[in-house]
Amino acid sequence: MRRVAAIISCVFVLGACASSSKSGSPDVTRPATATTTSTVVTGPRSIGHVFVITIENEEYDATWGLKSRAFYLNHTLVPKGKLLTQYFGVAHASLGNYIAQISGQAPNPATQADCVTYTNFSSRGTGKYGQALGQGCVYPVAVKTVGDQLTAAHKTWRAYQDNMGASCRHPDIGQVDPTVSARLGDMYTTRHNPFVYFHSIIDSPTCAKNVVGYRLLATDLKSVATTPNLVYITPNLCHDGHDAPCIDGKPGGLISADGFLAVEVPKILASPAFKKDGLLVVTVDEASIANAAACCQSSPPGCGRTRSMRRRTTTTPCCAASRTCSGSRISASRARPGWLASARMSTTRRRRRSGAATCRARG
């Protein structure tokens, strides 16, 4: 398991340092065959602080296409960097993607269904690639996260959860999750907070210290010393674009997600830690539930199962042998100060995707 989690943590770093990458595109408005070349600007190449923001549930074209309503994301962030067009989720619905993001664990039927009941993971051993085999929601202590690895390496991390209230908030084991749907004044949802699905976190004082409310970020950003090496940000169900409209009357969807980014991202880009050695990643957890494109041949766990949620009935699609299924193409935006990587970049557009953009702030 440690090897798998290490791979996930390296993805953050390699994405920022790809000074000779041949994939991605800095401009989503260019034709599919467009190619651009940028020049190297001197500056630091090591990354000491990574900022990750995850938004929700939009197709690639809706988020990154010509008619996207995410104006700040597309017209301010994307032109400063790259769009990673071959970046996929691994699951439907949300939780399986969040868990994979911080641990490398593949979805199981319970996480694929968003763990409406907060149960322990029942293990059947460890698979060939360090995967915990079994089913359930909260992984045993032996299954580690990137947070555990950072702590072991004497690095710091914090997950900042919008609207969470009390630190390390999660249901009791065996309890039905009361945060599945937003409520007025409380749009936090457990399933978008992957760290509380690991006993290595919730059984330790680490959880109350490191899994905290979003409001604490403003204080932590004031200096390099107080900014964690990994800053993991989950907006609430309105600010991440999941709900549309939102329970408080706001529009939700991409409009609210883009509004959140337009207000909050400049604060990160202006912080001492980001200016020193930072990397910003904005990513989308999954595309629509009906879209199951993947980077590898597999059918999602629980495929063919119909479920009702938030007044909608959906069926997770299964795959024929000739096609691929998963969480579809998703999105990630990176920003990096002080230097612009040399890159020859091209983009290939396909229908099932939700993209990935990388953005660098020019020094």
Question: What confidence tier does 56 reach under pLDDT thresholds 50, 70, 90?
Answer: confident
4 lies in a domain? no
7: pLDDT strictly greater than 60: no
Q: In this prediction, what percent of the chain has a pLDDT beyond 70?
A: 66
Range of the domain at 295: 23-93+150-186+208-359
Q: What is the C-alpha radius of gyration for the chain, rounded to an integer number of angstroms?
A: 19
pLDDT for 232 equals: 98
In a domain, 125, yes or no: no
137 occurs within a structural domain? no
Q: What's the mean per-residue pLDDT of the chain?
A: 75
The total of structural domains in the chain comes to: 1
pLDDT digit string, tens, across residues 198-209: 999 999 999 999
SS3 annotation, 316-328:
CCCCCCCCCCCCC
The predicted model gives 260-271 an average pLDDT of 96
At 65, the pLDDT band (50, 70, 90 cuts) reads: confident
Q: What is the pLDDT of residue 64?
A: 81
Which tens digit of pLDDT belongs to each residue from 97-117?
A: 999 999 999 999 999 899 999
Rounded Cα gap, residues 125 and 30, in angstroms: 48
Which residues, 6+ apart, have CB-to-CB distance to 186 below 8 Å? 163, 165, 179
DSSP 171: P
307 located within any domain: yes
Query: Is residue 357 very low, low, confident or very high in pLDDT (cuts 50, 70, 90)?
Result: very low
pLDDT per residue as tens digits for the range 128-172: 888 999 999 999 999 999 999 999 999 999 999 999 999 999 999
* Within-domain flag for 1: no
**C-alpha distances in angstroms, 192 versus 101, 114, 160, 318?**
11, 9, 11, 24
Stronger pLDDT, 345 or 111, i.e. the higher one: 111
Question: Minimal CA–CA distance to 190: which of 114, 283, 93?
Answer: 114
Is 198 within the bounds of a domain? no
Q: Is residue 82 part of a domain?
A: yes
Q: Is residue 195 part of a domain?
A: no
pLDDT digits (tens, 9 = 90+) for 301-313: 454 455 554 444 4
Does residue 360 have a pLDDT over 60? no
- For the purposes of burial, counting CB atoms within 10 Å of the CB of 174, is it exposed (0-12), middle (13-18) or buried (19 or more)? exposed
Query: Residue 291: is its pLDDT beyond 70?
Result: no
Residues 315/316/321/326 CA torsion (nearest 10 deg) = 150
Check whether 283 has a pLDDT greater than 60: yes
